[in-house]
Every structure is written in structure tokens, then in C-alpha cells.
Chains A and B, each alone.
Chain A
């Protein structure tokens, strides 16, 4: 049994430690060699340069908007599956939602690229209305992220709603609560921890992605900066320092989520 423990500690925890140590090294600007002395120069650079702050800000704002859109899209179908659909329909819907969850991340982004393209299907469909699609950019990034992480929001909300006894809804109705009132005062508060659980995925996945912005936008996200610095600029220390930002945000997020009771819904 020591095998898996050793594996995880060496390959993963060890890697994280190397990452954080590397964040404290620096790149010599003249020789382009990595100087392995400890210091906080990289974090100073990230904090002082407006570009990096803007990128971090943009990433977090888009992550929040993606989360919001996913909640709106996920709730109706999750509620329908959990409370209204007959067992056969429910089983079918579940498979329909789960199948794309695991598959073909890149293909999905690629599909959206062809859809949002100047000569793509979206502009073709909107043309009779005299409108145009968003093209490539921040809106496209938001749309594609919303698409990619949607199943990760549907499943926790479905599981959370399924656990709420139907009698609570009926009681609210019997006491005179109209549907909207029942939703606001009964359904939503009870489903809230599940929504937070789903938002952990949508948030974390958006923070760590760089492929989608590369393919449907020209703006930079945290992931792009990290990737470019590892590959093209060969500045591993700066990349490592910027990579700690999503980790810090996620740890904070997880702490808050735990207080809100989201962990029972994962």
C-alpha cells in the first residue's frame, strides 16, 4: 500500500514544491539563465506591472460571469431531471448530460471556432435579423467557457435538488406560496450549497485554462501568460509565480465554499 502514497507524494506534491520554489528563482536578463537564488522579485513584477494585474482581473471576472451563466442554464434542466421527469426520461437526460462531460474538450472549442467564424453558422443564422455574432474576443471566450463547464454545474445541482424532499415544496404551496415565492424562499436556499459546489468546478477550470482564449480570442488570461513564459520566453520562475495566483484564489474559494456547506454536495 505504500506504492500509491509514494507515487503521489513524489510525482505530485514534490512537483508542487518544486513549482513554489521555482517561483522564487529569477531569470538573469542578460544571460537568459535561471538564477537559483531565493527572492520575491517575480511577485513584485507581477504586482507592479499593470498588464499582469489586468490579466488576473480579466480572468477572475470572466470566471465569475461563466459561473453565473452556467447556473442560469443548469438550474431548469437540473430541476426538471430531479423533480419532474419520469424515471426513464430522467435516465436518458442524465446520460445526455454526462456523455459530453468527459469527452473532447479541444473538439468542443474547435466546434465553437467554426460556429463563431466570420462565415460561420451563427452569422448565417443572425443575418436575416440584421444582427451579427460576437466574433472572436472576450465574449466568445465567455461563451465557450460557459459551454465547456456546463455539465459540471448541472450534476451537483441535480444531486442537491434530488435530496430535497418534495413535501417541502408542497407545504410551501399549501401555505399559499406562489411558484416564484416557493423558488425564492424554499428551493433556492436549499439548493444553494449545491450551486456553490458546482461553481468550484466552473471557477477552477476557467482559472486554469489557456487553450480556449488562444483559440477564440486574442486577449490574454492567467493561463496564457504562464504557458508563454514556460515555452517561448523560457522564464520558468515568472511562470511559476503567476501560476500560484490561481492556486491562492482557489484555496480561498474552497475555504469559503466549505463554510457554505458545499463540500457535502461534491
Chain B
């Protein structure tokens, strides 16, 4: 396609500005994590690794990290199971209400995060607490799972549509029962899509805060720990380190998920649905 040199130049400048806008703030935090001073002033005076050591030995950070990991693994496991089931149902079977499922799955993430959080909070308080289920790790996992399902679902359904059903039919024609077909034919073709979905679900859960504040009760996940320590100037050096950790821990899964799902080099492999408040 023909584009004048001037237009091309302007587009390059525009792209560069946008990329700088995206990455400069992350770079600033990265630098602050190594800041020798306790106060957050610019320019930085000197560099140190001390805060990483202090953050690592901070009991609040350790507990929160552990809670986040447990919540992420729990939510990912549920989302992986339910998302795959829903995807198989929608892509391979015809039944009443099939169109509704894909809409239902997207709803928790399409509605504002505060609504999902509120709705779950109201339910947990009104419906679950009479049964002795209090807000805590369990409700965090349930809350995260509702909006993580869509990520697994999107990846698996896209894969199922691309692969088509003929291999499974062939397997059935050759005498395999349903379970054998699933184990030997369907599952291998889905594996990388499921893994990508699981990685994204974990990243989404690990980073989520809006729904979590409504469902966590007294539990602290890592984002909630950051949120409640931002107002304490003394803690900021440790917050910086934790922030860098969170950036890395949520970007690495996304990078691998991206590599697992794309077909060609130039297509967005990760289906872009918004995070409930981040995502």
C-alpha cells in the first residue's frame, strides 16, 4: 500500500509516543525499587538492593503473596474445568440456550468490576453466611473464578472451532468410546489452548483488586497489601519492590500465553477481553 513519506513519518512519531506513554511509567517504578533513599523523590540519588531483601523477609508480604498464589491456583483450576466444559458444550453440541452461554460467560468481565464485586458481596452475605461460610480465601477464589472462566473459554472455543469436529468423528467411527476420544484426540489438540487460558487466568487473578476487595473479608492478597500500604510513606520502598514483582509475575504468563496461542507471528493470539478492573 502506498503511503506518503510524510504520513509514514507522522505515524512513526505517533506510535513512538504511544509506546513511550505505555512503558515509561513502568520503568519509573522499576528504578524506584532500587532507590537508596526512603523518600520517593526524583532524581534518584543512589541505587541499592536492600529493599528486595527487606521485602523478602516482610511477613505481611509473604502472607499476602501466599494468599495470592493460593487464590490464583484455585481460581485457575475452577476456571480451567468450567471454561473447558462450557467451550466443548458450545462448540460441539447443539442444545437449548447455547447462544446464551457465550453471553453469560462474558458478562462477569463485560460489566463494570464494581458490579460483579457488589453482586458477589451481596450474595455471599445474604446467601452463604447463614450456612457459616464467611468472606475469606474461599470467596476470593469463587469471585476470581467467575471472571477467569471467560479467558479459558475464549481460548478453548477458538481452538475447537479451528480444529473442527471431523477428527473426533473419525475416532468414534474407528470404535473409540467417548472417554477414549476425549483423552486421545480432543485433549491433545486442546492442550496448548488450555495452558494459555490457564496462564492468563492466573495472571488475571493474581492482579485483580476491585472484585477482591468485595469478597476478601479480612484476607489480604498481594494487590490488597499494596493498596493498604500505599498510604504509609514508611512502607513505600517495599511497595516498590512488590510492585516490580507483580509486574514480572503477571507479564511472564501473558508472554508465554501469547506465544502458545498465535498461529502466525502477526496475529493477536490473546483474545482481548478486559480485566475486571484490570483487568
Contact = CB atoms under 8 A, between A and B. Distances in A.
A208 B15 contact: no
A104 B243 contact: yes
Contact of A208 (B226, B254, B270, B277): B277
Contacts of A18: 119, 122-123, 126-127
A99 B272 CA distance: 11
Interface in A135-157: 147-152, 154-156
B107 interface: yes
B1 A4 contact: no
Interface residues of A, number: 95
A117 B274 contact: no
A173 B3 CA distance: 9
B123 A119 contact: no
Judged by DSSP, the binding face of A is helix
Contacts of A226: 114, 118
A119 B268 contact: no
B116 to A, nearest CB: 8
A115 B28 contact: yes
Nearest to B147: A12
B127 A110 contact: no
Interface stretch (A37-45, A46-54, A84-92): A84-92
Interface residues on B, range: 35 or more
A260 interface: no
Contacts of A112: 25
B2 interface: yes
Given A83-B3, A227-B114, A104 B207 contact: yes
Nearest to A214: B227
A75 B145 CA distance: 34
B204 A102 contact: yes
Given A98-B270, A102-B204, A147-B25, A19 B115 contact: yes
A170 interface: yes
B112 A208 contact: yes
Contacts of A9: 104
Interface stretch (B40-48, B59-67, B157-165, B176-184): B40-48
Given A87-B265, A179-B7, A246-B115, A76 B14 contact: yes
A96 B86 CA distance: 31
B266 A98 contact: no
A106 B209 contact: yes
Given A19-B122, A77-B19, A83-B3, A103 B40 contact: no
A14 B123 contact: yes
Given A155-B272, A223-B114, A100 B19 contact: no
A110 B275 CA distance: 17
B11 interface: yes
Given A8-B104, A114-B32, A152-B272, A99 B255 contact: yes
A106 B252 CA distance: 17
Contacts of B14: 75-77, 80
14 contacts: A5-B97, A8-B86, A8-B105, A15-B123, A16-B115, A22-B126, A73-B17, A75-B14, A96-B19, A102-B270, A106-B278, A112-B25, A150-B18, A169-B2
Given A77-B19, A101-B275, A103-B251, 20 more contacts: A8-B149, A12-B107, A16-B119, A18-B123, A80-B14, A83-B1, A83-B3, A101-B270, A102-B250, A103-B254, A106-B278, A114-B40, A117-B40, A124-B42, A209-B112, A209-B277, A211-B227, A211-B277, A246-B114, A250-B112
The 5 closest A-B pairs by CB, nearest first: A208-B112, A105-B278, A76-B14, A103-B250, A15-B119
